[in-house]
Amino acid sequence: MENKYLRKLNIELVDGEYNNPIKGQVSTPKQIYDVFKSLKDKAQETLIAVYLNNDLEVLTYNILSTGSKSETVIDFGDIYGYGFVMKAKYFVLIHNHPKGDSNPSDGDKEIMSKFKDYSKIELTPLDFIIVGDNKYWSMFEEMDGGEYTLGSIK
C-alpha cells in the first residue's frame, strides 16, 4: 500500500561537544580554531561546518563527515543544505590532519578551488581551516590576511 502522507521535516538542535566562548562577531580564524582545536586529537579526519549569521556570529556547527587517517568526504550539498536550513549567511569549514601537519593537501586545495564555483549563492564560504598539532592553517589568512570584516567579505 502506498503512503499518501508527506513526511514532516523535524530538526532538533542539541548541545554538542564543543563550547563556544565567542561572544558577538567572529573576527579572526584563530577564534574558530580555539573552539575546535581539540580536533587535533582525533585519529580520523573530521569535517565540521560552522555557520554564521549576517553579523558574523556563530549560529551552530555540524559534523559533516568522519573519514580515514588521510581523507574525509566533502559533500557540498550537505554543506549548503544545512546552512540554508539554519538561515546562515556564511560558513567556515574546519577539519583536522591526524598526522599533525596543518598545511593543505592537494585534496584540500581542490576543495578550496570549488569555493569559487559556489560563491554566487546566498550562503558564502568565509574560510577553510585545517587543524594540526597545536597550530592551524587558514585559507582566509593565506589569501586575504587580517580579520574577518563584513565590508571585505565577497
pLDDT digits (tens, 9 = 90+) for 82-95: 999 999 999 999 99
CB 37 within 8 A of CB 52: no
Helix (H) or strand (E) holding 124, with range, is strand 124-132
Domain ranges of the chain: 29-152
Give φ, ψ of 56 to 5 degrees.
60, 35
pLDDT at 20: 86
pLDDT at 30: 94
Architecture, CATH, for domain 29-152? 3-Layer(aba) Sandwich (3.40)
pLDDT at 115: 75
pLDDT tens by residue, 8-37: 778 888 888 888 888 889 999 999 999 999
Residue 118 banded pLDDT, cuts 50, 70, 90: low
How are beta strands 124-132 and 135-138 bridged, if at all? antiparallel
Work out the percent of the chain whose per-residue pLDDT is above 90: 55
Distance CA(131)–CA(129), nearest Å, equals 7
* Max Cα-Cα span within the chain: 60
